[in-house]
Amino acid sequence: MYADVAVCLPLWRTFLYSVPEPLPTATRVEIPFGTRQIQGFVVGARAEPPEDMDPDTIRPVTGVLDPAPLIRPDIFRLCRWIADYYAAPLGEVLKSALPPNITARHVAAFDGGTTAPAEIRPRVDLTPAQAAALETIRARDGFHPVLLHGVTGSGKTEIYMRAIEECRAHGRTALVLVPEIGLTPQVRERFAARFGPQMALIHSALKPRQRIDEWLRIYNRRAPIVIGTRSALFAPLEDLGVIIVDEEHESSYKQDDLPRYNARDSAVMRAKMSGAPVVLGSATPSMETFRNAETGRYAYVHLPDRVEARTLPDVTIVNMREEYVRQGRQAVFSDRLLTGIRDRVDRGEQSIVLLNRRGYSMFLLCRRCGHSFHCRDCSVSMTYHRKTRRLLCHYCGHWQRPRDACPDCGSEYIQYVGEGTEQLEQLLNDLLPDARVARVDRDTMRHLRDFDRVFGEFRKGALDILVGTQMVAKGHDFPKVTLVGVVSADAALGLPDFRAAERTFQLLTQVAGRSGRGDVPGEVVIQSYFPDHYAFQLAARQRFEDFYRREAHFRRVMFYPPFTSLAGIMVLETSRERAARLARKIADFLDAERPGPVRILGPAPAPLEKLNKTYRHQLLVKSAAREPLHALLGRLRRFLEDTKAPPGRVIIDVDPMTLM
């Protein structure tokens, strides 16, 4: 007997091995591969080898790692779809479906006890809009996707929990996806209060053994409700009754490395395979999801008002060009924002200040010759971190000590340019010495307990001001926050990416929604050098539909999603010349093979041409329909295999979230 094995390596093809007896699909095996022993998954069986293969050259499987497959048939079908749709190696997808380092010993030793019934806490009454939304979700049996478009503070989470309650009443399971680990403490508290031990958490911040234990609770039917980040998509739930994707617009649902899948879209496919409804919730839906609702592919529910008749915050856009003239200098905080923060501290209220850039200063610049300090391994400037007194590359992690003199001209006039969250924290401590300030970014939030501690203190009122990156903008409910300030709101608009305006609108709308969620009305101050940009003006008025129409016109004219299918092809080489040569070779193949409705752009150096000592050249493939695009990418994969392109040197990214 023989088995087709998908290896856990960045290789698209499968490999044939001999086995003493048939093995079930998705069985995990150990196999010889070259001079190494690696893991793979059985994905097919055959009685005889292909005619063109000598049976004596076929090596045997070294060992079977699991007595029975840990990946159940429905999850295997989902993994197969992800591999096909996203042009991802099947072995890498199957590997992602299991917790790292799980063994048969873990499975055999599991003793998770029994699942206690949940203690249902008192629930709030639904508003008519919430009740209508819930009715749409349960309107019919079987698969049906629903876009739940509710302004910030409109009560989407309560609708999620009601939908799960009905699902559990019928004995079915539920899956809830959230975009960020930082959101899980608050989500955990709210869902645990409603569902207790029925709930399991899955995310990468868990310790390895914790993650395995949580996965085994689900696998053994001890936890019928799963909440987690992207990897929770593969939770081994049976008889799914509902899937919920909160903040569905978030780019963090798309994985950056292999396998490059989008958990939101894959969740829709899992719901379809399971015959379950899927709810996509957001105050700022992605262009793709709203387009699906517009064309009738998704049901659409709108929650236009906040619960308990709370008003949306008043939004002021401060023109920082005028602020420069008024203050006579480059100002980090406008008078309007600083006065507002000071007033909140005096009144015992809370403020959030958003700057989507960590560190102390963006870069160092010689004022005499213009030299800036760049990473030696990446084509980016290094960011200054004052606490550690380091210049740090945020892409590869390389660091060095800042110099007192310019290495080019010897000048001592070194200027620290631009501000980051670390600098904002210090400025607020200096300007408001009585205020209690905390910072939330990747430098301070290294563990899940850091999120628990800081957000817990802020929610209890032990902190006055929270300074942070986009981590503070998403999904949090802080009733005492009455002011939100946005510093350097223009930053993302300058990126060479067609989603720049969409991301800016979403971030501003989301962070504005943190204000005024209690009994006191909220205020938002957005600082911008381009205050008339439509992303700012429409975010200030919470006019998503107007933004969608404006942005859709641009996307349609420029042939970008959601009006086209898009794939990015990135070539990685340690030599710029080799990268350009291989990219040109791929472009020539695509030009010769492409059908009529497919367009090829490039090759060209990526906007970030060099990262971590590797040069990057890219192509974009656009198509009016998905079928020709996927057919062309399939031919490209075979071409790369036939020409023995080194594994990992060519990245295919279907539905990319960034073009950087």
Q: Per-residue confidence at 558, pLDDT binned at 50, 70, 90?
A: very high
Burial of 377 (0-12, 13-18, 19+ CB in 10 A): middle
25 burial (CB, 10 Å; 0-12 / 13-18 / 19+) is: middle
Distance CA 298, CA 389 (A): 51
Buried b (16+ CB within 10 A) or exposed e, 430-453: eebeebbbbbbbebbbeebeebbe
pLDDT reported for residue 345: 95
- Measuring CA to CA, which residue among 506, 609, 497 is closest to residue 558? 497
Look at strands 350-354 and 481-486 and give their pairing. parallel
**pLDDT score for 595:** 85
**517 or 322: whose pLDDT is higher?**
322
Q: Is the peptide bond before 122 cis (omega within 30 degrees of 0)?
A: no
The pLDDT value given to residue 117? 53
Q: What is the pLDDT of residues 94-131, one digit of tens each?
A: 999 999 999 999 999 888 655 555 555 557 788 899 99
Q: What is the mean pLDDT of the chain?
A: 91
Region 352-381: mean pLDDT is 90
| Structure token pair of residue 487 | 């510093």
Which domains, and CATH codes, for the chain?
A: 2-99 (3.40.1440.60), 128-308 (3.40.50.300), 311-360+419-554 (3.40.50.300), 565-654 (3.30.70.600)
Three-state secondary structure call for residue 459: helix
Residue found under tokens 């998503």: 544
Q: 402-459: per-residue pLDDT in tens?
A: 888 898 898 888 888 889 999 999 999 999 999 999 999 989 988 878 888 898 899 8
- Is the pLDDT reported for residue 516 higher than 60? yes
pLDDT band at 660 (very low <50, low <70, confident <90, very high): confident
pLDDT for the residue numbered 246: 94
Q: What pLDDT, on a 0 to 100 scale, did the predictor assign at position 448?
A: 77
Positive or negative, the Cα torsion across 115, 117, 122, 123?
positive
pLDDT at site 122: 55
Distance between CA 126 and CA 132 in Å, rounded? 9
Question: Residue 114 has what pLDDT?
Answer: 53
Q: What is the pLDDT of residue 120?
A: 52
Q: What is the pLDDT of residue 115?
A: 54
Distance of CA 539 to the CA centre of its chain: 21
User: CA angle 277-88-60, nearest 5°?
Assistant: 115
DSSP 8-class letter at 564: S
* Confidence (pLDDT) at 184: 59
**What integer pLDDT is reported at residue 182 of this predicted model?**
67
Q: What's the CA gap between 385 and 420, in Å, rounded?
A: 9
Of 317-331, 534-548, 571-585, the poorest mean pLDDT is in 317-331
Q: Which amino acid is located at 559 in the chain?
A: F
Closest CA to 605 of 594, 619, 591, 595: 619
Q: State the average pLDDT over residues 563-574.
A: 96
The predicted model gives 529-542 an average pLDDT of: 92
Query: How is the beta sheet containing 36-46 ordered, strand by strand?
Result: 15-18, 2-7, 36-46, 28-33, 63-64
Q: How confident is the model at residue 600 (pLDDT cuts 50, 70, 90)?
A: very high
Banded model confidence at residue 514, pLDDT cuts 50, 70, 90 = confident
* pLDDT (average), residues 455-476: 88
Residues contacting 28, CB < 8 A, separation 6+: 39, 40, 41, 64, 65, 66, 69, 70, 98
> At residue 303, does pLDDT exceed 80?
yes
If you average pLDDT over residues 502-506, what whole number do you get? Answer: 94
Confidence of residue 498 (pLDDT cuts 50, 70, 90): very high
Confidence of residue 353 (pLDDT cuts 50, 70, 90): very high
pLDDT mean over 236-257: 95
Per-residue pLDDT at 597 exceeds 60: yes
Given a cut of 60, is residue 582 above it in pLDDT?
A: yes
Asked if pLDDT for residue 559 goes beyond 90, the answer is yes
Q: Are 212 and 106 in contact (CB under 8 A)?
A: yes
Cβ-contact 467, 421 below 8 angstroms: yes
Predicted local confidence at residue 535, as pLDDT: 94
Q: What are the distances in angstroms from CA 647 to CA 4, 20, 573, 652?
A: 20, 31, 11, 12
Distance CA 469, CA 180 (A): 13
Residue with more model confidence, 496 or 76: 76
